[in-house]
Chain A
């Protein structure tokens, strides 16, 4: 299977002299095409730091990050913008959509930025919105549609440019349980039916149970890994809770 993300000996040290803090301490892992990888861990474990580095909006202290065969660590700022535009998709916790743009304009944005022709934009928007069942709301503004529709529109935007990898940092953090569920099934849907690779950071076991594989990190190191395999989602959920219980035993607190 094709390797999408390869992380080796990743370190991130915050602070200068005296007050140094190792947020990431030698992280290694791989993500392959079609995976739905979850990253869990207590607060302060280094999850966001890791995701920001993969998102190219932060730089590691040492180590390498190879996405789709390209090492992003030594890229220049402008190259990174272009790389983000062409290779990565994002699902944010909030501000999913620009409120001044219609749904269609929002979804088209990554392609517009990449200077794709209007014909191609139109074709892709149609295709993606068909898949996510948002054709009817394309000309509406974000405030005119429901929370679930907004999430789907945001997911559509994340995948429209055919990214190698979709990144989501605590995407359900600010949502009520119903909206969380819609978003998660949307992610699951695009992962399974459109073969999109997804990497999601979360501390919510319910959200994590949608993943196919989960890495647990603590104090900047990988601590454990579990794979869903042939399990039902409910069964996987209990297994996650078990691992978290061990973590809890360790630090006395699960976030």
Chain B
């Protein structure tokens, strides 16, 4: 008998709680997909030795955070379900079912529902992870020889454990809840003329003005920080704090302000259902403001992280090629000739046919400060970064060596006449380059010891890439100034460039040689692998956290609205008796839903106009890019998911209010 009841309840529940189950199943699927990432065939070769460990520990850590989010969601949804079933539970108890039995029934339902969601979620997860795996392999240019079926048992188990614990905790809370129920409250579930807080006009107005000022200042501060590169954990915290404070204030006061305006349009207010709709909304917004403001802040953060993550991904992508123009780049400080000879021998022995160029150049670390470009001027700006640059020393390279380098990069040689020199500027900071350009417009002459040179032009790093030669600015001087470098520390740079697809023995042999000496060797392969890896990790983390956060918040929103629908059902029924036709009522429900759902999103999007500005400036400083397209995609995905939730919720609410007797 009890079993039959449970069975029937569950079958009915599935229809009733689409939002909850949908979200639960989705989150389980996502949980599985990301926790099974480490067993993808993409990392099964030896190209990415660290991948498995890095991914699995990263995803494991994230999963803790995720299970908190999901736990909160389940707890929240359970409250909603109990509320929806108050009368039914009361009826069971009235008919003589003991509290224990009711608790048992609810507990069994929770467990069975959890288990069913788990099974469905895992199945979907396994399916999605196949697609994910193909995409990852394509990403890493790994040939897809055969379609490999990926099933990660550890992830299946891990999902079971994480969700099992979360569910048990919630189930315990849930069934404790039942024993608190009083029969009378259950049966008389509907409230009567509930009290609600009415806010004092003066307080509302003051808070509204204050939060507008706060938001304005925060936006301004964010812009200031980003433009001047003062970004630090503290400043980001200050921005988030200021933004949240303003958002809470706005949600506390904004609706009362808007309501005041609507109410003063008296003809509009007293026509049709407007008074009812605006009061209903005001009331809901005022009681839910904490949650709505929190969600707004969350949306803003999630969107920002989405956008900056995608921008960062672009950065990593673009920086690899230009940073590593050679297959091997070796930096040595001593015994350069001997070492070069060993590498040369190995290269000729194993890959003569593949070798495109090899070269060796010298650079020197001088004792001349970069700030001596403008000798009688101190830098008083507030960028720490710029100050550090200016206090560093120049590197020096002779023209002939420099021409070797740029020739390998297929850039024409640089001609220098008389005492002309080039100023090489690293890409780290845009501001720095601008600063130097400005200084050069006043003075191009510079003393190196007794000799005077004249800087002909700036040679930016991105034109030739990072040869691992210079840690900061460098002066490229004519060979005749050779004597200047006397006494400076010499840095030898040995480069080998092979055609793509060169034999992998070369890698091994070069590695062996480099192990014997004190030198630093960078390989293009490694750089590429690292970049791909970080790119993928950034995307994984963002997708995992972002999507879970997004669906959890959208689900909370939806459940809140459905709870509201249950509460206001009586009101709508009365409207119907008073002669409001179905179309008007449905229209009102939809309008209510639209405002409730989209105002937080709208505010979040508005915040994001400024957040995007912040992110763009910040990324630009590191030569990474935020494109308009990225912003658009992030917002689009967000809006899409949100719209689905909105649509389902809206239909469910109409069903609860209009269709059910």
**Which residues of A come within 8 Å of B, CB atoms?**
55, 57, 77-78, 81-86, 88, 90, 92, 94-95, 97-101, 105, 108-115, 117-118, 121, 141-143, 150, 157
Q: Judging by beta carbons under 8 Å apart, are B279 and A82 in contact?
A: no
- Residues of chain B within 8 A (CB-CB) of A121 are 270
Across the interface, B271 reaches (CB within 8 A) one of A86, A94, A118, namely: A118
Give the docked Cα–Cα distance between A100 and B578 (Å): 16
Binds A, one of B116-124, B187-195, B334-342: B187-195
Across the interface, B276 reaches (CB within 8 A) one of A78, A94, A101, A150, namely: A101
Verify if B583 is at the interface (C-beta below 8 Å from A).
yes
Q: Judging by beta carbons under 8 Å apart, are B193 and A143 in contact?
A: yes
- Residues of chain B within 8 A (CB-CB) of A55 are 577
- Residues of chain B within 8 A (CB-CB) of A115 are 271-272
Q: Judging by beta carbons under 8 Å apart, are A90 and B581 in contact?
A: no
- Residues of chain A within 8 A (CB-CB) of B194 are 99, 143
Q: Judging by beta carbons under 8 Å apart, are B578 and A109 in contact?
A: yes
Across the interface, A143 reaches (CB within 8 A) one of B195, B271, B272, B282, namely: B195
Verify if B391 is at the interface (C-beta below 8 Å from A).
no
- Residues of chain B within 8 A (CB-CB) of A108 are 270, 275
Q: Judging by beta carbons under 8 Å apart, are B192 and A85 in contact?
A: no
> Which B residues, 252 to 279, have Cβ-Cβ distances below 8 Å to chain A?
266-267, 270-276, 279
Q: Judging by beta carbons under 8 Å apart, are B271 and A101 in contact?
A: no
- The verdict on A113 contacting B580 (CB below 8 Å), with A108-B275, A143-B193 known, is yes
Measured as residues with beta carbon below 8 angstroms from the partner, the interface class of chain B is 20 to 34
**Which residues of B come within 8 Å of A, CB atoms?**
190, 192-196, 198, 266-267, 270-276, 279-280, 282-283, 570-571, 574-584
7 A–B contacts from the bound complex (CB under 8 Å) = A77-B582, A85-B580, A95-B570, A95-B574, A100-B196, A113-B584, A117-B267
- Residues of chain A within 8 A (CB-CB) of B274 are 112
A139 to chain B, nearest CB (A): 11
Q: Judging by beta carbons under 8 Å apart, are A99 and B193 in contact?
A: yes
Which of B193, B271, B274: most chain A CB closer than 10 A? B193
Give the docked Cα–Cα distance between A30 and B453 (Å): 116
Give the docked Cα–Cα distance between A110 and B575 (Å): 9
Q: Judging by beta carbons under 8 Å apart, are A113 and B270 in contact?
A: no
- Residues of chain A within 8 A (CB-CB) of B584 are 113
- Residues of chain A within 8 A (CB-CB) of B577 are 55, 57, 84, 90, 92
Q: Judging by beta carbons under 8 Å apart, are B270 and A100 in contact?
A: no
Across the interface, B581 reaches (CB within 8 A) one of A78, A95, A157, namely: A78
Give the docked Cα–Cα distance between A24 and B223 (Å): 75
Q: Judging by beta carbons under 8 Å apart, are B578 and A90 in contact?
A: yes
Q: Judging by beta carbons under 8 Å apart, are A98 and B574 in contact?
A: yes
Give the docked Cα–Cα distance between A55 and B194 (Å): 28
Give the docked Cα–Cα distance between A118 and B280 (Å): 21
- Residues of chain A within 8 A (CB-CB) of B575 are 109, 113
In the complex, the chain A residue whose C-beta lies closest to that of B577 is A90
Instruction: A99-B196, A100-B282 given; name 10 further pairs at CB < 8 Å.
Output: A78-B582, A82-B579, A84-B579, A95-B190, A99-B194, A100-B276, A101-B279, A109-B575, A113-B272, A117-B267
SS of A interface (majority) = helix
- Residues of chain B within 8 A (CB-CB) of A117 are 267
- The verdict on A98 contacting B571 (CB below 8 Å), with A105-B279, A115-B272 known, is yes
Q: Judging by beta carbons under 8 Å apart, are B272 and A112 in contact?
A: yes
- Residues of chain B within 8 A (CB-CB) of A101 are 275-276, 279
In the complex, the chain A residue whose C-beta lies closest to that of B280 is A100
Q: Judging by beta carbons under 8 Å apart, are B579 and A81 in contact?
A: yes
B197 to chain A, nearest CB (A): 11
B154 to chain A, nearest CB (A): 53
A169 to chain B, nearest CB (A): 11
Give the docked Cα–Cα distance between A173 and B276 (Å): 27
In the complex, the chain B residue whose C-beta lies closest to that of A174 is B192
- Residues of chain A within 8 A (CB-CB) of B190 are 95
Q: Judging by beta carbons under 8 Å apart, are A113 and B192 in contact?
A: no
A250 to chain B, nearest CB (A): 31
Across the interface, B579 reaches (CB within 8 A) one of A94, A99, A110, A141, namely: A110
In the complex, the chain B residue whose C-beta lies closest to that of A150 is B193
B590 to chain A, nearest CB (A): 18
- The verdict on A81 contacting B571 (CB below 8 Å), with A118-B271, A121-B270 known, is no
Give the docked Cα–Cα distance between A81 and B571 (Å): 16
Give the docked Cα–Cα distance between A92 and B576 (Å): 13
Give the docked Cα–Cα distance between A99 and B283 (Å): 10
Q: Judging by beta carbons under 8 Å apart, are A112 and B193 in contact?
A: no
In the complex, the chain A residue whose C-beta lies closest to that of B581 is A81
Give the docked Cα–Cα distance between A86 and B190 (Å): 29
A154 to chain B, nearest CB (A): 10
Give 6 nearest A-B pairs by CB, closest first.
A85-B579, A81-B581, A84-B579, A100-B279, A142-B193, A99-B193
Give the docked Cα–Cα distance between A235 and B193 (Å): 38
Q: Judging by beta carbons under 8 Å apart, are A114 and B270 in contact?
A: no
Give the docked Cα–Cα distance between A101 and B574 (Å): 13
Give the docked Cα–Cα distance between A94 and B578 (Å): 14
Q: Judging by beta carbons under 8 Å apart, are A82 and B192 in contact?
A: no
Which of A90, A112, A115, A142: most chain B CB closer than 10 A? A112
In the complex, the chain B residue whose C-beta lies closest to that of A88 is B579
In the complex, the chain B residue whose C-beta lies closest to that of A147 is B193
In the complex, the chain B residue whose C-beta lies closest to that of A108 is B270
- Residues of chain A within 8 A (CB-CB) of B279 are 98, 100-101, 105
- Residues of chain A within 8 A (CB-CB) of B574 are 92, 95, 98
- The verdict on A81 contacting B576 (CB below 8 Å), with A101-B275, A109-B276 known, is yes
Give the docked Cα–Cα distance between A95 and B275 (Å): 18
Q: Judging by beta carbons under 8 Å apart, are B270 and A118 in contact?
A: yes
Give the docked Cα–Cα distance between A25 and B121 (Å): 56
A128 to chain B, nearest CB (A): 15
- Residues of chain A within 8 A (CB-CB) of B272 are 112-113, 115
B69 to chain A, nearest CB (A): 32
- Residues of chain B within 8 A (CB-CB) of A114 are 579
Across the interface, B273 reaches (CB within 8 A) one of A94, A111, A113, namely: A113
Q: Judging by beta carbons under 8 Å apart, are B193 and A85 in contact?
A: no
Give the docked Cα–Cα distance between A97 and B194 (Å): 11
Give the docked Cα–Cα distance between A143 and B195 (Å): 6
Give the docked Cα–Cα distance between A90 and B577 (Å): 8
In the complex, the chain A residue whose C-beta lies closest to that of B263 is A105
Q: Judging by beta carbons under 8 Å apart, are A78 and B275 in contact?
A: no
Q: Judging by beta carbons under 8 Å apart, are A112 and B275 in contact?
A: yes
Across the interface, A110 reaches (CB within 8 A) one of B192, B271, B283, B578, namely: B578
In the complex, the chain A residue whose C-beta lies closest to that of B267 is A118
Give the docked Cα–Cα distance between A137 and B534 (Å): 67
- Residues of chain A within 8 A (CB-CB) of B571 are 95, 98, 100
B97 to chain A, nearest CB (A): 26
